[in-house]
Structures are given as structure tokens and as C-alpha cells.
Structure 1
Amino acid sequence: MKTVIQGTGRLLFTGLCLLFVWPAFAQQAAWPAVKRETKPWTRWWWIGSAVNEKNLSSSLDVLQQAGFGGVEIAPIYGAMGYESQYVSFLSPRWTALLRHTVSATAERQMGVDLTTGTGWPFGGPQVTKAYAASRFIIRQYHVSAGKSLTQPIRVDDAKQEGAALQALTAYNGHQAISLKDKVDKEGRLRWSPASGEWDLYALFDGWTLQQVKRAAPGGEGYTLDHLSAKGLQVYLHRFDTAFKYKAPGVRSFYNDSYEVYNADWTPAFLTAFKKKRGYDLARYLRELASDDSTDLVARVKSDYRETMSELLLENFTRPWTHWAHGYKSLSKNQAHGSPGNLLDLYAAVDIPECETYGSTYFPIPGLRRDSADIRNVDPDPVMLKFASSAGHVQGRPLISCETFTWLTEHFKTSLSQCKPEVEQAFLAGVNHVFYHGNTFSPPEVPWPGWLFYASVNFVPTNSFWPHLPGLNEYITRVQSVLQSGVPDNELLVYWPVYDTWHRAKGRDMSLKVHDIDEWLQPTAFYKQVKALQGAGYSLDFISDAQLLRADVGKGNDSTKLPLSGYRLIVIPKMRLMPVTTMQQLIRLAEEGSAVVMESLPEDVPGLGGLESRRKALRTLLASLQFRPDEHQLMVARRGKGRLILAADVQKAIWQVGLDREKVVDKGLKFIRRKENNTTWYYLVNHTPQKIDEYLPLNKAEGTVVLLDPQTGRTGLAQSRQDGGRTIVKLQLLPGEAMIVHTGKGVQAGTMADWKYLETPEVPLTLSGNWQLTFTNGGPFIPVARQLDKLTPWTALGDTAANAYCGSGVYTTTFTLPEKKAGEYVLDIGEVHESAHVWVNGQDAGILWAIPFRARIGHYLKAGNNEIRIEVANLMANRIRYMDQHQVPWRRYHEINFVNINYTPFNAAGWPVQPSGLAGPVTITPYR
């Protein structure tokens, strides 16, 4: 089993380094400090809340050892056959288990978050119909002159028995009259028109009758009316009682994505609408019920949607956050899916949380993406930025993300597939990752243990678990940087939500992740954001309400939002803008801001006071006297600043003096943070080409340090001046990331130079015999064998190997006649799916993602060398075997277990997934 190096020579291919992590993770001095928030956290499903103190502590030990910084408790439905072990949600026993978990995590320097409910959305046994999610029901009738309505005014639906009549309006052409006071208790209308034909519209306060999805024992019941202030008080009182008004010690309470279906009403809606919009919605029931594509219908519905947004913010999000603060905890909220202004809802909580759902295509060579195993909606970084933008503008230090939800089909997700997906979230402003997720499972439950139906299963029974620290430590390093300082984004882009709300079709408008192809991607806002990011500008979004609080100063007034970190406000092409927003843009310009407008607003949104508001907008716009400047930009100067009207937004930005980051021209993606007198760059190469050249970084000055988040290595970069700017030498292979720390405040001390890989020689291919043995897996342990060439174990024709899930160890020896190269880079080639490498008995690290390389010169010696490569495959083949042989493993209440298309799961027909090492394994010397 020996290979001998025979000579040297040139190789055209150059490389960088390295995907491995130190066996004992310790952050080097050049990196920011590690704390629990810099580590990844995981959603932690309590199946049936069938937990106890001993098993909880043991599970936390395992999570801590794998590199997790905290857990997010989510009680859900139970497993069949374990009913006797269920613990009812918020019972004294359940609360005691929660407090034990809080104490146990603190002992392990970990944290705990807790959903304010079970399953999702909020609801439970304390939610009576009076406070359950509501929907409006409209019934239509017709009455002719001199006749009376014979049928009662009521909802003929047994499920909606008791739905209260809230308004009854009769229409004759443009004439509308209210008749609610003419309806008796039995629903009889005591009215007959003297003339004409009348259409009657009756509005009832009904219910969605939605139950809590995936509820845990003790959490079953109606979904909460999130628009009702009193409903929230009733809902939270159950928690107060269970906690006995004593803080449970959780870091934050969280709310999952808003999935309250068809909840488009609340009993107090008409009163709130009249107060907020200035007119009576009851007079416009005909328009509310219509889908006719008229401006009037769209305006009424825009006002209706804006009112819903405000009620959700004022009656749920803010008071729920206040309640969390009362327990010395934070609030963490997923606003997406809400029928409201996402930016305002995210901004109202302490930790805005977005979500990645499905998988993204990345042109990284060798990155597996099987079309049959993915969802049909790709995660969109622009959607992720609603959460990060709101947090950045509000000054929130943490932006979290529910990550990897349905990344691929169950049991087919590799760690390598996770890397670019989480990187995309980082690049969108996320700095606090939550895995979706980990299921608590008692030790006596047979393999694969308890699992959640919509998850990448980050559980100890997963064959990649021994290699998971590779991903966790990568995330920890990146988050230590992305939680340092503050965001360094130049542009604020206005989100014209009123253009979105101004739609005649439909009722409420839930802005869902799955519907972005309808409400987000077709818009001019989206296209402008993509164009600006693609050109190399960094940006955040801002809402009307946030703009109204914006201030160009340093932020001494706590009621204001300081915009001193942003250099330009961009108004994308839009049609509708409130007068107050336009007034504020002019005021900000007068105070020194530069505002670039792709177009001027054409009209105001909504219906109330329409003509007076239109007149006010026309007057404002007329006061802006745009004239061409020396660059032929149309400029209206106001006070210390200016408004620029430019169809070519990027040209205007350039003329203002704002330079773009040109690394994007090479396909690199970036995000920046600023801290004291330094700048952090996080750079990622998701292209199919390697980067090996000097590149400009706008903020590069003084000392430039490179930090490799894959390995933790650091060193002083090669940099030089070129045309008055600093350019930095970067080497990144496809799939790699790099962090650059630069600025006059960087303290490099005695740091060594970064070791670039410059001159490759002829690679050594380890083509001799290999020993293959199997460890830590099942359902059977295949026999060990000698291989005359590298071969995946699923290509051996061994039925036991084809069913095997676990680790296989490939071992060989080779001879290195002399050790004289400056570095040696190991490339293990094609691997299914991750590996841990030892060279001469020394731990050379985990190779868990593309490009599956490591620097191993430190471990080699002249003469005989041994290399041992432990490969972990996927869970898929063992699950396939179990389903083919009808071995029971999935028995859960409610949804049980489904596949990626939400149909019953069965792996019996799957092909065998390639497992093991295909290679070639090479070692390349670098002079």
C-alpha cells in the first residue's frame, strides 16, 4: 500500500487551502472572542415534551461538544407508544423541566430560547372563540322597491354559528346607506326601499377555526387573534400563571413565521379603521368584497391592509415584546408571512429572524444538487434582507435566521451543501444562525431516534455528526466577525409598500416567503436592489415609518433613528408615496442627506382625504425645482443637501462620489462591518473560477490581515498601492471564503505573513492499495477489505455496504523521499460525503466541504508516511433498507413523517446513494 514520489515539475493549477478545523477549537488572538451567540444555535424539538432531567442534561452535553451555543425549545406533537411519558405544556412539571434546562445550559455556557406556544402559530386551550383568529364573512342580498327581505341576515354555516353582524350596507348606484340598526336579534331586516334596486352587503365577524399546527400535549386549541390586544393579554396570562410571574431565565421568547391562515379580521377592526384612516369602511363593503380591477377597490383594500399591519404591530408585536422584557428576556420574531409591513414588524423586536427554505443553485464545481430532492422555491437573499435591514436601521446587534429548512430531501443533505446556503444568509446580514434542527430523542429509542418531519436532521444519529464540528466552527468564526462592530452599508433603499398593497385582487396580503414571485420579485424595488448589489454597493431597506423617525445626526434623541452611517437614500421607481414620506425626504435633504430618486411619485395611496392629500403632494413636488448640474444630473438643492432625479441610479451614485466594491466584477460576494478604526470584510467565492490576484477593497488601508474562517489560520496579507488605493492579494478556490481585517486600528503585533500557495509542483497521486474498515454505523458492519484502488464502498457489490450508514476508514502508506517543499496540500477528490484526516497519527482536520483540501506539510516527514481518511456517508441507504424491509421507525401523531413534497415518506424506491471515497487523493508540493 505504498506510493512513491518520483520527481518534480510545474503544475498550472494553483490552490489556496484548507477546509479543516482544529481538533480542539480555540480562537486565535486575531479573531474576535468566542461567546455563546457566536456559535450556531439549534431549534430543539421536544416530541410530546417527553423529556426528563437526566436525558436533557445528557443531550445538552452532546450538543455542547459538537459546538452549539444554545437551543431554541419548540414543544410539538408526540411519538406513538410514548404517551405515558408526555408532559403537558406549562404544567408545573413542564415548567420545572424548563427551569432545569435553563440551569443546565448556563452550566455549559449555553443559552435557551423558548417559543411562546407549542407548534405554530400562537394558540392553545386558553384561546376561546372570543379571542380566536377571525375572518370577515360577507353575504350579499338584493331588495327591490316596495319589497322586504324575507331571508334572515345571518351566516348559514353551522361552523360559523354565532358570527356577529358588524355592518349592513345597501347600495343603489353611488348611494350607500347603513342598515345595521334595522336588523333585529333574529336577523330580520325591518326595512323596505321606497324605490330602486338595492344590493345589500352584510359583514360578519367569523372565525378561521384554525387549530395550532403540530401542537404539543397541553398546547392544543384555537389559533390566537393576533390583531386583538385583549386576546394577547388572555393568551399570555397562561404563561404568567405557569411562571408564577417569576422569570424563567430564557434568553429570548420567539415567534415562528406568521402562518395564521385566512385571519383577515378582528372584532374591533371597523372602529380602528375609522380612527386610523378617517372614514367608515362599512360604507365600502361592496369594494371590500370585490375583485374588480378598479382604482377605488385597490385604494380601499390598501387602507384595509395598512390597518391590519398597524393592528398587528400595535396589538401583538410591540406588547408581546414588552411582555418578554418584563421577564428580563428578549423577543425574537419571524415577521415574514405577516399581513403587514415586514420592515416595521421586524424593527419592533430585539432579534429579527428570517428563514431559509429550500436550496439555492450555486455554480460551484462538484456541489451536489439533485433536482428530485429539492423544493421548487429557492431562498432569496433579498427576502432575507428585510429582517437584517430592519435590525441594522434600528441598531439591533443580532439578526437571526432559521437555517436549512427543507434544504434537501430527508437524509440526503451533506455538510458541503450547507456551507454556501449559510454563507448566503451571512452575506444578507445574518449573524446568528439557528439550525432547523435537532430533535430531542431518549437514548432507548432505536436508530434513527425521534425526528422532525421538515428538517435537516442535525441529530447525533446522523452519520455526519462526527464531522459536524467542521461546519459549526466555521459558522462560529464567521459570526464572531459579523457580530463585531456595526454594519458598514452605504445605501438606504426605500421600500414602497403602498405599491404592493394597492391591489384590487384578494383580501389581506400575507407577504410569504413562498409567494415572493408574486409580491416581491416583479417589482422595480427588487430589480433595483439586485442591480445595486450586483454592481458592488452594500445596502439596507427602510420603511415609511422608519424614514419618519430618521435623523442625520449622531442619535442623541432616543426617539430618532440616526442615519449617520448611511451616505445615500435611494428611492426606486414607484407610483404611490404618502405626503409625510415625501416631506421627510425633503427635510432629510435640507439637513444634509443626498436622496436619489429613480422617479417622482405619481400619486398618494389610500382613499381617506384623497383630494387634499393629492393636492399636498403636487404642491411638494412643484416646490422641487430640478435643474441640471455640472454632471447633467437633475438636482433640486435643499438646505445642506440635495435630491437627485435620475433614471440611471448607479450613475447618480457615482457622481455623488460613492464608489462600488469592484471585487464583485470577479464574482466575489461580500459584506462589511466597521469596528473602531477598522473594517472587516467577509468575502465568498461562489463562482466556478479560482481567484488568485490583487484586488481592490475600498476600505483597505494600513495593516491588512487575512483570516481563514475554514481553518482559523491568520497572517499579514500582501498588499500594495495602485492608483492611490490599496489592493490586496487574494487566493480563493470555488466554494471558499476569506475574511479581511484592515485599517489603522488593526493590531497585528508579531503576526507572521500569510502563506500564499504560489508554485505548485507535480502532485503525488496515492494510487497504491488501500485498507478499508468500517466503524460506528449500521444496520450491519461490512467486512474489512483490501482495495487495489480507491473505490466507494457502495461500488463493491456488497449488500451490507449498500445498506450501511456510518463511517468507513481508508488507510494507505506512501514514501516521501525528501521533504523540501514549503507546503504540501492534500486533495481527497470526490468524497461521499465528508471526511476526517489523520497523517502519521496526527489530526489533520475535518474536510467537510468543497474543495476538500488541507495543508498537511506540518504532518509529513521524509520517508514512510501513513494517511487515514475517515469518510461519513448519508443516512439515506440505511433508511432505504429499513423501508424496503418494513422496519418501523416513524410513528408520530398528527402529520407523522412526510417527504419534501409533503406526501407520505417512503425511501424503499430510492437508488443506493454513493458512499465512500472515489478520489483521486493527491498531495501537491508548493515551493
Structure 2
Amino acid sequence: MKRFFSVLVIAISIANYSFAQTTKTVWPVMEKQMKPWVRWWWMGSAVDEKNLSQNLTTYQKAGIGGVEITPIYGAVGYESRYIDFLSPKWMDMLKFTVNKSNSLGLGVDMNTGTGWPFGGPQIKTESAATKLITQKYTVKEGEKLNEPVKVKEAKQEAAKLQALTAYGPKGEILNLLNQVEANGNLNWSPAKGNWEIYALFAGKTRQMVKRAAPGGEGFTLDHLDKNAVKVYLDRFNAAFGNKSQGIRSFFNDSYEVYGANWTPTFFDEFKKNRGYDLRNYLRELVGDNGNKEIIARVKSDYRQTMNDLLLNNFTKPWTSWAHQYKSLTKNQSHGSPGNLLDLYSAVDIPETETFGSSYFPIPGLRRNKEDVRNVNPDPMMSKFASSAAHTTGKKLVSSETFTWLTEHFKTSFSQCKPEAEQLFLSGVNHIFYHGTTNSPSDAVWPGWLFYASVQMNPTNSLWPHIDGLNNYIARCQSVLQAGKADNELLIYWPVYDVWNQAKGLDIALKVHDVDDWLHPTAFYKLATSLSKNGYSFDFASDHLLAQSTVENGLVKTAASASPYKVIIIPQCEMMDLNTFNKVISMASCGATVIFQELPKDVPGLNDLSVRQSQLKTALGKLLFTDLKDGVRQFKTGKGQILLTNDIQKALTYKSIKREELTDAGLQFIRRAING
């Protein structure tokens, strides 16, 4: 086993490689996926063979490795050139692009849609993104409701009543849905006391595809509905003739489906997966119960169900669909209302993104105030994508790179380079520029442009020098794609602490909101501290731990993934009982598990007292003894469990060495190569 470390000295931007063995090193053979790729906007899909050929040749000569086709809105004044998405002519242009790219040694990815998010003309109202609408009524003793139970929100003619639950003065709960007549009148009155009635409707968000290309306009898809996903993909099947199109990977942009917090089958899925009927907890779902603990538990179960639906009804079926065409999937899971680690893991190439500029302590590096966003690009956010790849043994981790890094034509390569290096340090090894607009030769300078781009276009005055940046990135990525990640620590992400909140409904985990859902957590503070002190790690979900095994004291998360020496459980309030028991079982099988603190409770509502009692019993069996420096130990089977607030002291006790180069301000990433 030969190990090497890619050390990026941020202050002076020098890449240095050191090897554990002094053997002759052969540089990896350069392949197209090692070079930077570009998101390639087809404005109005106004493309033709002459300009496609010319542009692809220009990209190839500049050191670009591939293109990712994303059709968007068209350029004004060129409407006569627009081509409808997936029309026969559009498919001819796609075929030409793939063939020409193959001849040039370029790869081709394709957005499974136009603009973002997924949607289009095939998505009719019944398959469109769905939202929960609730209305509250009060009925007095002996009286009837004096208005029909119909949705009041405007433009919701398609909304369907799915639940009507009445709450009595003594805690009574009645399901009144079958007592609503066709005209909406409720044929019921309370015999005693005043009652509150909650109605839940499945309405529509009415969100349209953003920046849609011609032929791609329409409602946004209901990602939580498996039948709607099938309807969406069937249009591609028809256009493709059920034959492979030579696309390396189908792409899905960040989840920007606003307000889509429901699907018509939600009640059934919730009861099947959470074990109780959500119809009885409509009051808690809208936050009116008054008991914040119960509200938070119900909403945690609701959010977990959202995750299950998105994962099983969209992400996995979409990936299976792509595989039928001998293609991969590349997905930006961030922004989703689910467990990012599991959503990233379900695709072939997890993709993160950077938005805005980062602060680097580089003297003279320009960073204008208008380029500073509400939060800086965060390497820990990017590690959600890279962790998903590393723990499942996937080779590539991609990034939408340089989005809004600066304003148009103001971006220097000196600003790009450290941003790319920061991504490398977070585990990214497959950079996509954001981006390049396909522009015809007769368009007046500076050609057709996309509004959120750093303009990696041939019309950019820096283009004659871009091969320098491209070649540097390609050399770095050729090394970073070799072998596999070699991180030693596996840190559990306590997603239930994120979900267990009484406020709001679905929680979209966006890159723009990490200061809300990530930065305040003990998990984040621990991860940043360990990174700063020279430790390498990946993140783990409950699902990943459930399928992991222990071999010779090491934790195996997948057959093709590098093993981990230690599992770390950060301070957390909520931990699933099955996950806790699995971690204890892994310790008994020989693993080393370090708890920053023991979990205090179990998430969710169903069988709560039973599960709380089981957790208490399990915790009571952990009879710790003192070691030194505040580290406590419980030996079990072939392994051990350590308990300490100072994780680094426990790592020192286990002889897990840190990279001391971080003391000098250097950063690193570990890769392992057989040879």
C-alpha cells in the first residue's frame, strides 16, 4: 500500500506531494474526467452543427474534458433559431454533439430537463408539486358547521380534501372525512362541548420550471410521487426510443422545489413507516397543540417521511432509469428536505456547489464587498457530498464551481485557484465550471451569456490563458481520482437533532442556510476542530451505520470503500434506538466507538415510552471506568467504547495520529493507492 498526501499551502498556493515510499512515481495517465468540465447552457436550444463543432473544438483545445448540456431560456432576437426540447431536431443536435465530442475525446453529460427543477409540459396538475393546505374551524355544542369544507386559498381548484379531524374538549379525536357531503357540507355536530376541526387539503404549489427552455415549460414535478416521476421520465423514453444516447451522466440541479411539502399518498406512507396515523395529529402538524415536545416529535416523523419519499420515489428510481440507458446520475442533493448523506449516496456522482467567494489569507487577493454572500462556501458542507462517495466506494465527487464567484468578467484566475483548492481539500475531484454559454459565431461580442456565470467563455479576455488553470486542475484531479479516500475517522451526523424542531414543516438543507441548520451544532464544531487539528474523516448517516460491518477492528461501510479506525458520535440529543444498538454491537465486534456524550433521548412519537425505556436500559449497561485525562472506557466483546468531551484525547489514547502540518496552517487530504 502506497499512501500520499496532497498538501495545499493556501497562503502561497503551492501544491506539494510527499510519498511514504521513495519509489519512482509515474504520473497518472490523463483521462477526460480528470480535466475540468463545464456546465454548457444551450440558450433556447438555438444550436446548429457548425457552431456546435466550432465551440466543442475550442473547448477541447483549451483543456476542457467534457460538457454538461443544460437547455435554458433563449436569447432575445433569435427566436427563429429556437429548437423545442426533445423534439426530433433537438435529438439530432444531441446526437451530433455526442458524436463530435467522442471524436474530440470529450465527455457529455445532460440535465434531465431544462432550467431547474425538473418539470415540463408532460407534468399536468395531478403530477405537479404538491403542498399541504390546512384550515381550522370551531363548532359549538349542538350546532353544525355554517360553511362548506372547501379550500379557501386562491387558484387551488384542484385541491383535494384528505383529512378532517375534530378535537373535543376532553381530548376526544374524531375522523370526520366520511361525513363530508359532495357539496362540502359537514353532516355532523358535537353532542357536548365546543370542538375544533382541522381540514387538510392536498393543494398545488403551482411552481413552474425556472429558466425553462422552449419545449420545457410547465409545472414542477411532484418529486415525492413515484407515479409522477414515471410520467416525467416517460417523455424522455419516447424521445430516446428507449435506446442509449451516449450520455455519460444525467444531471439534477440543487433541489429548489419551493413549498412542496406534501404528496397525495403521504398519510399512507407515514402510517406504514412511522407506525401511527398522522390524521390524528393534524393539530400538532400545524403547531397548535401547545406541547412543543409532542409537536417536535410529530414533525420529526413528518420530516423523516419526506426523506423516505424523496429517496425512494425520486432519487433511486431516477438513478435506475439512467442505468437502463448505460448512463450514470450526478445529483446535487443539497436543498433537499431529507438526509443529505443518504440522498447523495443514492446516485453515482454526488455533486456539491460553491456560491459566492471565500475568504483566504492570501496577501493582495481581491475580494470585493459585492462578492461576499450571507455565508462563505463551507468545506464542511462539501464534505456531505464527498463523504457519501467515500463511504460507498464511489470514485468521483463533483462540484458546481465558481457560481457567482464575482460579477461578470471580473473574475481572475487568482480568485479561482484557491476556491478550487478548497474544494479539493473537502474531497471534490471532478470540477464543473459554472459555466459556459453556447454562443453562435455571428452573435455580437461578448456573445450569449448566462446571468449567474463567471463566463468561462471563449469571448472572455482571459480565455487565451485558461489552459494554464485547466491544466493545473487536471493535474490535481488526476492524482485525486487515483486510488481511494483514506480517511481514518467516521463521524455520525445526528440528523434527528435537525429534524426535531417544533418550528416550520419541511426543512430544506440549503448551502445558503448552513448558518441556521449546520453551524450552530455540536457536530459541526467537532468536525471543524478535528480538521483544524489534523484529522481526516467522513460523515455517516444512520442508514450507513446500519449496513456497516467490522473486520479486524476496522469499520467497513462498503466493499470498495477504505475502512475506518474509529466511529465518533458527537454530542446529540436524539439518536435512533436501532442506530445506538448497532453502534454498541459494532463495538462488541471489535470496533472502537467514541461518544462525546451519550444520547439523551430517542426521536419520533410512536411507542415513545417503550423506546425511551429501552434506551435507558441499554445506557445502563455501559459501565465505564476512568482511564486518564477525562477519558472513560467500557470494554465490550472484542472492542471498546470511550466517553469524553475531548475527542482528541481519546484519539491520542488510541494512537490515532494527527497530521501536525496543520499547526503551520497547512491543509491536506488523504488518498491511498495500491502499488
Q: What is the DSSP-based 3-state SS (H/G/I as helix, E as strand, rest coil) of the residue aligned with 2:402?
A: strand
Q: How far, CA to CA, are the matches of 1:488 and 1:170 in structure 2?
A: 56
Q: How far, CA to CA, are the matches of 2:561 and 2:388 in structure 1?
A: 13
> Residue 177 of structure 2 corresponds to which residue in structure 1?
180
1:770-781 aligned within 5 A: none
> Residue 393 of structure 1 corresponds to which residue in structure 2?
391
Shift of 1:374: 3.4
Change (3 A) 1:481 1:126: same
Q: What is the DSSP-based 3-state SS (H/G/I as helix, E as strand, rest coil) of the residue aligned with 2:470?
A: helix
CA contact (8 A) 1:411 1:457 kept: yes
Q: What is the DSSP-based 3-state SS (H/G/I as helix, E as strand, rest coil) of the residue aligned with 1:160?
A: coil
> Residue 322 of structure 1 corresponds to which residue in structure 2?
320
> Residue 105 of structure 2 corresponds to which residue in structure 1?
109
2:77 is matched by which residue type in structure 1? Answer: G
2:573 is matched by which residue type in structure 1? Answer: R
CA contact (8 A) 2:371 2:404 kept: no
> Residue 189 of structure 1 corresponds to which residue in structure 2?
186
Q: Does 1:96 align with 2:88?
A: no
Q: Does 1:272 align with 2:269?
A: yes
1:284 is matched by which residue type in structure 2? Answer: Y
Q: What is the DSSP-based 3-state SS (H/G/I as helix, E as strand, rest coil) of the residue aligned with 1:552?
A: strand
> Residue 126 of structure 1 corresponds to which residue in structure 2?
122
CA contact (8 A) 1:520 1:526 kept: yes
Shift of 1:629: 3.2
1:30-41 aligned within 5 A: 30-41=26-37
Q: How far, CA to CA, are the matches of 1:415 and 1:632 in structure 2?
A: 48
Shift of 1:99: 1.1
Change (3 A) 1:433 1:562: closer
Q: How far, CA to CA, are the matches of 1:324 and 1:506 in structure 2?
A: 35
CA contact (8 A) 1:152 1:187 kept: yes
Q: How far, CA to CA, are the matches of 2:464 and 2:628 in structure 1?
A: 63
Q: How far, CA to CA, are the matches of 1:405 and 1:113 in structure 2?
A: 19
- In structure 1, list runs of 5 or more residues that go unmatched: 1-14, 20-27, 678-927
1:261 is matched by which residue type in structure 2? Answer: Y
2:135 is matched by which residue type in structure 1? Answer: R
> Residue 41 of structure 2 corresponds to which residue in structure 1?
45
Q: How far, CA to CA, are the matches of 1:217 and 1:535 in structure 2?
A: 52
Q: Does 1:87 align with 2:83?
A: yes
1:615 is matched by which residue type in structure 2? Answer: S
Change (3 A) 1:561 1:576: farther
Q: How far, CA to CA, are the matches of 2:586 and 2:25 in structure 1?
A: 42
CA contact (8 A) 2:160 2:203 kept: yes
- Runs of 4+ in structure 1 deviating by more than 3 angstroms, as ranges, are 15-19, 557-564, 629-632
Q: How far, CA to CA, are the matches of 2:247 and 2:33 in structure 1?
A: 14
User: Which of 478, 481, 485 lines up with 2:479 in the alignment?
Assistant: 481
Q: What is the DSSP-based 3-state SS (H/G/I as helix, E as strand, rest coil) of the residue aligned with 2:50?
A: helix
CA contact (8 A) 1:135 1:208 kept: yes
> Residue 416 of structure 2 corresponds to which residue in structure 1?
418
CA contact (8 A) 2:34 2:481 kept: yes
Shift of 1:562: 7.2
Q: Does 1:618 align with 2:616?
A: yes
> Residue 18 of structure 2 corresponds to which residue in structure 1?
none
TM-score calculated relative to the size of structure 1: 0.69
1:215 is matched by which residue type in structure 2? Answer: A
Q: What is the DSSP-based 3-state SS (H/G/I as helix, E as strand, rest coil) of the residue aligned with 2:45?
A: coil
User: Which of 207, 212, 220 lines up with 2:209 in the alignment?
Assistant: 212
Q: What is the DSSP-based 3-state SS (H/G/I as helix, E as strand, rest coil) of the residue aligned with 2:155?
A: helix
CA contact (8 A) 1:550 1:561 kept: no
Q: What is the DSSP-based 3-state SS (H/G/I as helix, E as strand, rest coil) of the residue aligned with 2:173?
A: strand
Change (3 A) 1:239 1:554: farther
Q: Does 1:436 align with 2:434?
A: yes
> Residue 831 of structure 1 corresponds to which residue in structure 2?
none
2:106 is matched by which residue type in structure 1? Answer: M
Q: What is the DSSP-based 3-state SS (H/G/I as helix, E as strand, rest coil) of the residue aligned with 1:637?
A: strand
CA contact (8 A) 1:143 1:193 kept: yes
Shift of 1:587: 1.2
Q: How far, CA to CA, are the matches of 1:582 and 1:473 in structure 2?
A: 47
CA contact (8 A) 1:554 1:564 kept: no
User: Which of 246, 249, 259 lines up with 2:246 in the alignment?
Assistant: 249
Change (3 A) 1:435 1:136: same
Q: What is the DSSP-based 3-state SS (H/G/I as helix, E as strand, rest coil) of the residue aligned with 1:527?
A: helix
Deviation digits for residues 662-711 of structure 1 (CA, Å, limit 9, x no counterpart)? 0000000110101015xxxxxxxxxxxxxxxxxxxxxxxxxxxxxxxxxx
CA contact (8 A) 2:374 2:512 kept: no
Shift of 1:293: 6.8
Shift of 1:172: 1.9
1:351 is matched by which residue type in structure 2? Answer: I
TM-score calculated relative to the size of structure 2: 0.95
CA contact (8 A) 1:550 1:563 kept: no
Q: How far, CA to CA, are the matches of 1:376 and 1:634 in structure 2?
A: 41
Deviation digits for residues 872-897 of structure 1 (CA, Å, limit 9, x no counterpart)? xxxxxxxxxxxxxxxxxxxxxxxxxx
Q: How far, CA to CA, are the matches of 1:42 and 1:104 in structure 2?
A: 16
Larger Rg: 1
CA contact (8 A) 1:502 1:605 kept: yes
> Residue 72 of structure 1 corresponds to which residue in structure 2?
68
CA contact (8 A) 2:393 2:560 kept: no
Shift of 1:29: 7.0
Change (3 A) 1:389 1:554: farther
Q: Does 1:334 align with 2:332?
A: yes
Shift of 1:444: 0.1
Q: What is the DSSP-based 3-state SS (H/G/I as helix, E as strand, rest coil) of the residue aligned with 2:551?
A: coil
Shift of 1:616: 1.3
Shift of 1:559: 9.7
Q: How far, CA to CA, are the matches of 2:59 and 2:562 in structure 1?
A: 41
Shift of 1:553: 3.0
> Residue 839 of structure 1 corresponds to which residue in structure 2?
none
> Residue 143 of structure 2 corresponds to which residue in structure 1?
147
Deviation digits for residues 891-911 of structure 1 (CA, Å, limit 9, x no counterpart)? xxxxxxxxxxxxxxxxxxxxx
1:358-373 aligned within 5 A: 358-373=356-371
Shift of 1:375: 2.6
> Residue 651 of structure 1 corresponds to which residue in structure 2?
649
1:580 is matched by which residue type in structure 2? Answer: N
2:259 is matched by which residue type in structure 1? Answer: N
Deviation digits for residues 575-620 of structure 1 (CA, Å, limit 9, x no counterpart)? 1001100111011111111000000010000101111111111111
> Residue 700 of structure 1 corresponds to which residue in structure 2?
none
2:370 is matched by which residue type in structure 1? Answer: A
User: Which of 223, 228, 231 lines up with 1:231 in the alignment?
Assistant: 228
Q: Does 1:199 align with 2:189?
A: no
Change (3 A) 1:558 1:224: farther
Q: How far, CA to CA, are the matches of 1:535 and 1:130 in structure 2?
A: 53
2:184 is matched by which residue type in structure 1? Answer: G
CA contact (8 A) 2:125 2:158 kept: no
- In structure 2, list runs of 5 or more residues that go unmatched: 1-10, 16-23
User: Which of 454, 457, 468 lines up with 1:456 in the alignment?
Assistant: 454
Q: How far, CA to CA, are the matches of 2:174 and 2:366 in structure 1?
A: 64
Q: How far, CA to CA, are the matches of 1:554 and 1:181 in structure 2?
A: 59
CA contact (8 A) 2:356 2:371 kept: no
Shift of 1:30: 3.2
Q: What is the DSSP-based 3-state SS (H/G/I as helix, E as strand, rest coil) of the residue aligned with 1:606?
A: coil
> Residue 469 of structure 2 corresponds to which residue in structure 1?
471
Q: What is the DSSP-based 3-state SS (H/G/I as helix, E as strand, rest coil) of the residue aligned with 1:575?
A: coil
> Residue 446 of structure 1 corresponds to which residue in structure 2?
444
Q: Does 1:164 align with 2:160?
A: yes
Residues matched between the structures, number? 655
CA contact (8 A) 2:109 2:248 kept: yes
> Residue 822 of structure 1 corresponds to which residue in structure 2?
none
Deviation digits for residues 537-584 of structure 1 (CA, Å, limit 9, x no counterpart)? 0110000000000112399x9996677621111111001001100111
1:583-594 aligned within 5 A: 583-594=581-592
Q: Does 1:550 align with 2:544?
A: no
1:519-598 aligned within 5 A: 519-553=517-551, 565-598=563-596
Greater percentage in strand:
1
| Percent of aligned pairs sharing the same letter | 57
1:671 is matched by which residue type in structure 2? Answer: I
